[in-house]
Structure 1
């Protein structure tokens, strides 16, 4: 009963396609690789990655080694190894998510984090929430690689920290920045399907002032995204795209311990799609504009007290042409976040946040616009009771202008059995408020009809257990989870609304359970990594797998240095899934191989070569839609000091 949300809030919009990769035999290799890494006895010395500072887990700076959750950090070095696609492709390559898509990298895209639906994962860009109140979920296809410095992925419910939407997890993108000497970064790449990319950035700074700015453009002739099995449309032509984006970051220390920062970005994508079988010569386009801006004041009042006051706005605008459809979501937020060190290993976190959501859409009953507010208050307690025992407790109350108060909480504990092995466990609740479109469109409940009730928030209850082993260059994490989601909103039968085609209603239940294993190992100049997800995302009432989610998927990667060369390769793998909620249209498992190489021509000049889908695997992950064929990209990057 639960399916991936559609980018267009219209029943005629094409279904999305799931992306990742592999034959069941390849998945067996991944599983063996991950378990082998977990039992390897020898490890070479390397930097301790657990010492790096992250912020997404608690909204305050924290050592990665102190995070009591399933957490992934993707660095700039990993980002530069990938030549194709954008944020969604990066997350797939890192083994974090499954993805559905209706064509090339800029076409409508949604994510499945731990099997949760697209609308159940929060996207933040430098702390700014990006979402659509039309159907729910972020425009993942608009975030290009050129803007990204780092990505943090928090898996599991996080509404006690972030409020509405974080049933599946939180993904935060941090744009490029620098506090070192002034540097430029220029990249040029060209490859298959007529793809050309140009990137330019400048960044630098001192303790008192830092700045970074970037621009990038990309265009591609694309490939034929649909085939004869498409139930929506099929036109035998190439479906290309164009995108352009820019970002600006400024930071200044106005006095000792007090810092102001400004972040602004804009992304635009223009994607061709097959709009109608009856009009094969019409050039249909889907255009998405995403903007985000945030002004923040970070203040260190004393050694123990720190606060951050921020004002942010995110916009998501989507339109199609020549068929006319337009929708725009605006989210404004004002937040005061702070932490206080109590001493003895105890820290208190506090948050007050107000968010205003606005939707402009012609399909709304009460007019072309609708709005709503959410005000949240949160408290957190982070403690290290002994060198071995840690706890974290977060509680939050959100007051929604439509349905009232939603209370959420998360409790986590970590215990170090030895210096190299830590056990973790947590329980938590989460919610997702109905979107303004679900509430106020012709498909939303008509409260003037007898017996019709307003939509209620979707609810999640999660339990998970994990372990983390690290010894020098060897790191292994394993997390088992069980997330029950109730009051799921689906597009059901007519009757409760003014539309004869169907209505939104709270009727579905889902159970998301599984095991995630992730391992990294360094052996001399070799870096090995593997991830495996064995999961069972099911509709509780029917017992069927949720559409376009497999029971088993994963990644395997190896990389090494050969003089001035850095070469690597990876496998993306996925088992069988089903194209529909009734599980009557199976899609076979498959695997694709991606290869990459970099050559340092000079210290600041690098040549790169990427070969994706190296064996030109022809596969389908959604009925009626093609995926990218073998693709080659040659790039040159120059990063001089200025």
Structure 2
């Protein structure tokens, strides 16, 4: 349950030991497993249990329940969906799978709608800048999708589901523990007829924009001895989604398809000594993306990209005793845009485009009964834009047992993408990274039965990459924008009988400093409530989300809206469970992106068999 992770993050280790919350550990904050209680920044952990109880179908659905997250989407399943954390852009939020950054070097943001949720064991989410540990993109926050099971897990699960818009899903996973060996295999298939996400009356009437996805993974771990854990993993996910390519002004009708495939392979080794932990990681990923009219086949696509990414890292954590710790790491990453890549028939370059980045970080931490502190710094040397340095400092003080005040301040950056640098006809190879200065102040505690946290933050971002004209009149991406995002987050958790409640409220002022206007698709107010419980063979959940008005890129204003989702489940036998979900319970008509419609009320039925 997410509650205990949050509880641990809010209270110092010594103060919360009685509630056994120190059993909750995260790896995302500083790349090594540590009690959530020792992390100064706000952290949330969503377990597989909660994902299943709330019957969440996609990574997007999970993230939109969390504090500080807004979702930008152009339709239903398979359409582009990204996460905006604390008002930062999607490209300023770092998305990881098992600690490895997802391929965002082309567009800068990750399309969450394409990621398979059936492989995920839990999701760790940390708000605020983390560039001094991870490098580029960690301005608003970091999301880490953990697929690797803990050693000793032994469970097989099969799932089948149907639902609105012709939805069908079939997936399964099996974690097998064989002495010192751990093996996980998972596979999934999903198909949805969809609906018309971008209706143009009289032009594309009757169109449906559907989605088909397939995925598989194999993960192997070997506990060679008490100190060494070796691992290897392979993952693939492939999807085809339709979208509208019509132009109303030209009375031109076209339904397009996007075909995407991502393959990744990983080798890892971890050493756990009495005082020293070390990790070695090698990862290779290849992403292919094709866009074409659905009257064509993939080989005829005029827009396609092939990107290869390789990463090597060596990370270390040293326990110095008496609450002191020291961390250090080196990471090398190479990104390659293959020469066959093109946009509307025009090649990005005459050959392959590649860039290398070497980053090194150093982290110092202290955790005591009343005082905790951390100081970190990282230097990245990039082949394209040169060296960039980031740092962060933070401290926490227990005012009285169970109540803590904390403060963090640091810098972060976002690197320009291949599209920014090399897109045919509108590129700017002289771009430099976007930079930010981040500050936050938090107060947290346990009052009666209520766990709560209040966090105020301020994020000043300079050198934003935005479209601007050159001296010759050609519009290209340029380092011309400035933004300031400041706000207050409120969080609380408590139980009423067998029902647990999680509430959050986000009040912020996301401002473009040059125009003085509100940043597009960022609301000033967001409220969320998630309730879930279990009684004998019954379980279920009820969630509510409110997003306030916000401007869109075409100058329109997107109205505020409320959404209710209801889930119920019944354990038929010790192994078989039936569940139902009603999405958008009140059939609310709302818009997330101008010109695109949302699916309305949806019904889903699922069967899960565990053994």
TM over 0.5, shorter chain: yes
Residues 181, 346 of structure 1: CA spacing in aligned structure 2 closer, same or farther, 3 A cutoff? closer
1:64-83 Cα offsets, whole Å, 9 max, x none, are: 11111021111111211344
Q: Does 1:314 align with 2:254?
A: no
1:228-273 Cα offsets, whole Å, 9 max, x none, are: 499xx85542211111111111100123301101122111121111
Mapped partners of 2:463, 2:366: distance in 1:
34
Match of 1:424 among 406, 409, 418: 406
Query: Which deviates more from structure 2 when the two are superposed, residues 47-56 or residues 600-609?
Result: 47-56
Q: Does 1:480 align with 2:453?
A: no
Match of 1:511 among 477, 480, 484: 484
Match of 1:328 among 306, 320, 333: 306
Match of 2:349 among 354, 366, 389: 366
In the alignment, which residue of structure 1 is the partner of 2:494?
Answer: 521
Mapped partners of 1:331, 1:69: distance in 2:
30
Q: Secondary structure at the match of 2:101?
A: strand
* Residue pair 2:65, 2:530 contacting (<8 A) in 1 also: no
Cα offset for 1:554?
A: 2.1
Cα offset for 1:412?
A: 0.7
* Residue pair 2:77, 2:194 contacting (<8 A) in 1 also: no
Q: Does 1:399 align with 2:381?
A: yes
Mapped partners of 1:476, 1:368: distance in 2:
55
Mapped partners of 1:269, 1:257: distance in 2:
40
1:533-570 Cα offsets, whole Å, 9 max, x none, are: 11111111111111111111121122233331112211
Mapped partners of 2:122, 2:449: distance in 1:
21
Mapped partners of 1:403, 1:208: distance in 2:
45
Listed as ranges, the gaps of 5+ residues in structure 2 are 1-9, 11-16, 294-300
Q: Secondary structure at the match of 1:147?
A: coil
Match of 1:284 among 252, 256, 271: 256
Report matched runs for 1:190-201 at 5 Å. Answer: 190-201=162-173
* Residue pair 1:429, 1:459 contacting (<8 A) in 2 also: yes
Cα offset for 1:580?
A: 2.3
In the alignment, which residue of structure 1 is the partner of 2:503?
Answer: 530
Q: Secondary structure at the match of 1:106?
A: coil
Residues 494, 236 of structure 1: CA spacing in aligned structure 2 closer, same or farther, 3 A cutoff? farther
Provide the TM-score with structure 2 as the length reference: 0.91
1:196-216 Cα offsets, whole Å, 9 max, x none, are: 110111112155110111011
Mapped partners of 1:481, 1:610: distance in 2:
36
Q: Does 1:163 align with 2:120?
A: no
Report matched runs for 1:27-426 at 5 Å. Answer: 48-49=20-21, 51-83=23-55, 85-175=57-147, 177-180=149-152, 182-206=154-178, 208-228=180-200, 235-277=205-247, 282-300=254-272, 302-322=273-293, 324-360=302-338, 361-363=341-343, 366-384=349-367, 386-426=368-408
Cα offset for 1:314?
A: 3.0
* Residue pair 2:73, 2:592 contacting (<8 A) in 1 also: no
* Residue pair 2:411, 2:437 contacting (<8 A) in 1 also: yes
Match of 2:435 among 459, 467, 470: 459
In the alignment, which residue of structure 2 is the partner of 1:34?
Answer: none
Residues 418, 237 of structure 1: CA spacing in aligned structure 2 closer, same or farther, 3 A cutoff? same
Mapped partners of 2:55, 2:189: distance in 1:
14
Mapped partners of 1:240, 1:224: distance in 2:
9
In the alignment, which residue of structure 1 is the partner of 2:420?
Answer: 438
* Residue pair 1:48, 1:472 contacting (<8 A) in 2 also: no
1:388-435 Cα offsets, whole Å, 9 max, x none, are: 000011101110112211110000101111221111100010111212
Mapped partners of 1:521, 1:101: distance in 2:
31
Cα offset for 1:480?
A: 0.8
Mapped partners of 1:271, 1:83: distance in 2:
23
Give the structure, 1 or 2, with the largest relative contact order (CA under 8 Å, sep 6 or more): 1
In the alignment, which residue of structure 2 is the partner of 1:577?
Answer: 550
CA RMSD after TM alignment = 2.3
Q: Secondary structure at the match of 1:93?
A: coil
* Residue pair 2:30, 2:133 contacting (<8 A) in 1 also: yes
Listed as ranges, the gaps of 5+ residues in structure 1 are 1-37, 39-44, 448-453
Report matched runs for 1:492-571 at 5 Å. Answer: 492-495=468-471, 501-571=474-544
Residues 124, 433 of structure 1: CA spacing in aligned structure 2 closer, same or farther, 3 A cutoff? same
